[in-house]
A and B are shown apart, each in its own frame.
Chain A
């Protein structure tokens, strides 16, 4: 309750929440407003926004309704964001928790693997994954998750390193509790808040990564994603700039919303920082 009050009191957090709800609303109502396939031809190509009341946001270079693509694209972006983030967080927590709790050679091995992933730029690694495994939407999502886990792993490890020596953990060991139970039932709930906050960063980055792939035309061309639309607009960028700009704004708004919500969560979960 106190957490909720703290969250609702912060104006940026509220703005973020409202923006995020708008994006979610777009995703949910896409079929209702635009029941047709958003990738089907709808009219003349390159109609400017507002020029034809049928196409509020105009059409792209092959005559598809941009507004329909924006609404349906919200689904894809959110889906990629949520699924990829869940994959990254789950992987990161398990690896970080094992490394931080056990220490010693387990920590050494897991951290060297983490570092190997971290030294390669995320996006290059993602390109390699997509090049090897193909670029349908499922592969892209999994690949984004698979390149994003090192940061939450390090964060979880750091939390575990400080928590594992706390007396309540030692108390659990003295009553004969097993390691698995101590890690996941006792320590993890205490280590979770910073990781959850970090999840918002990963989600924002995941959405951006997919757009970047799509911009290079390496994402799944059979779904209406914002990135695909930007990629298409690239060809007519100098004159019909709106084809790229509109989905760009959509991405900007979504990433901003997710970041603000994450910041708000952080402030609400760390009451000591809130006073500053």
Chain B
């Protein structure tokens, strides 16, 4: 088989002072016509840099220092800028991760798709409009004529990504590079987009270079897989082989870290309820002068849930389902409009601010973003010691406690002197956990605590969380959009949609025998749902 696009020993040098000398080292890949090659790796593996190098859209200071990129008899590594401009979009097209930032917010979608024809083909306006409409139909946007006239913010995330794909496919490129095209999307939308890419690729015979960090997506879509680590391709081969019989130790570790979708055998649960969420309501009202044009969003409507002592309650749902709002209502970062949060009978919502500050130590929160949740100007130890100091501990005692907690979450106690930016994402999440545990809470509210982490780090943090739950007898409310993660850590699960809990129960039951149509759809959308790493 002849390769459409061929990387031969491609090496990309990083500027001096970067954490390594080469972003890519001696990368050789062949992309054949009519196949999907998945490039998979963790953050910093150089997978996105590969795409940028092919398109010659490298960030300033980064340059190709060796090797060749063969495409249609040319070497793109050395081609001049004019040749590259003709190839970009027409020969090799690209779809990005975030369709909102990749589209110009001030121009209509149809106008931006039509631009492809204006730049490369020079067709008359009427033909451009017709071709644009045909493209939008092809990517199955609902109401294509309306979508062409819409501005990007008027479309949903999935529709925007469809528009991006339409734009990429406008000129029938031989190669489509998709850089994490579904990462920013909800799981049901992701399933549709993956299906669309697969379908279009089959019909048009396009060669697709699909960049992802998610092995579920790989299992769903890939014909062949290349695994990257630190800028080097460590393994490549047919999808079935790499996924089920990985050779390289790194691939083995990565595949093993993918959480399976089925839940482990249930743990015995206590009858004693520690936290009771009673018909909690939160409604947002925005805009509107004197009631005109006001928008009312029911973020959480009448949610009632029980958390048994020592158990983990998973709250799953897509973006906008109200799960994060619910988490923030529990710790009163957001004031609910109605209902009650009862912690062993005490209604937290009825407490005055001063009393709530005292009660705060019993319910603590772990946040999603390991970069944003730590004050960059404080040492890690101070961050952890802060809580006890606020609640009256002496600074010396709090600092000693912080060192103990560092050991507890698997960090070096000497690292308390360092600043947050000196830690990796997983380590920062451990600091966040230590900070929450410093107040010896009974309930931990974790809002997507592993979503921003690479899969291998994610597995470590989840293991730590399970271990701490046993040792400290914690009860956990675990918010996540990732059903695989939920399956691994939760005892009970509640599925939220548009502010309501549509189904809840023991995780084993809900995941194997979902009753509600939405739960069924959600489970069916998990990419590579049948894929489970060999134990």
Contact = CB atoms under 8 A, between A and B. Distances in A.
Nearest to A171: B373
A207 B435 CA distance: 47
Interface stretch (B5-13, B38-46, B363-371): B363-371
B87 interface: no
A170 B333 contact: yes
Given A167-B367, A167-B369, A174 B360 contact: yes
Contacts of B432: 171
13 contacts: A167-B373, A168-B374, A170-B333, A170-B365, A170-B373, A171-B367, A172-B375, A172-B386, A174-B331, A176-B390, A176-B391, A178-B357, A181-B390
Contact of B365 (A171, A186, A189): A171
B333 to A, nearest CB: 5
A178 B374 CA distance: 18
Interface in B390-440: 390-391, 432, 435-436, 438-439
A138 B386 CA distance: 42
Contacts of A181: 390
B317 interface: no
Interface of B: 60-61, 328, 331, 333, 356-358, 360-361, 363-365, 367-369, 372-378, 386-387, 390-391, 432, 435-436, 438-439
Contacts of A172: 375, 386
Given A167-B368, A175-B387, A178-B357, 6 more contacts: A172-B375, A174-B333, A174-B363, A174-B365, A176-B357, A190-B377
B534 to A, nearest CB: 37
A66 B360 CA distance: 67
A173 B328 CA distance: 11
B82 to A, nearest CB: 26
Contact of B364 (A166, A167, A174, A186): A174
A78 B457 CA distance: 55
B366 to A, nearest CB: 9
Q: Which 9 A-B pairs have the closest CB atoms?
A: A176-B360, A167-B373, A176-B357, A175-B387, A167-B367, A168-B375, A167-B372, A174-B365, A189-B377
A112 interface: no
Taking residues whose C-beta sits less than 8 angstroms from the other chain, chain A's interface range is: 10 to 19
Contacts of A175: 360-361, 364, 386-387, 390-391, 435, 438-439
Contacts of A41: none
A236 interface: no
Contacts of B386: 172, 175, 177
A20 B261 CA distance: 66
A275 interface: yes
B376 A176 contact: no
Nearest to B439: A175
Contacts of B439: 175
B300 to A, nearest CB: 17
Contacts of A174: 331, 333, 360, 363-365, 436
Contacts of B356: 176
A190 B364 contact: no
Interface string A42-78: 0000000000000000000000000000000000000
Contacts of A177: 357, 386, 390
Contacts of B373: 166-168, 170-171
Contacts of B376: 168, 190
A168 B386 CA distance: 12
A193 to B, nearest CB: 10
A186 B387 CA distance: 13
B367 A170 contact: yes
A173 to B, nearest CB: 6
A168 B372 contact: yes
A170 B334 CA distance: 10
A214 B418 CA distance: 52
Interface in A175-191: 175-178, 181, 186, 189-190
A212 B436 CA distance: 56
A173 B377 CA distance: 17
Contacts of A166: 372-373
A266 B378 CA distance: 22
Contacts of B360: 174-176
A107 to B, nearest CB: 17
B333 A173 contact: yes
A275 B356 CA distance: 47
Nearest to B447: A167
B479 to A, nearest CB: 13
A275 B357 contact: no
B441 to A, nearest CB: 10
Contacts of B387: 175-176
A189 B378 CA distance: 10
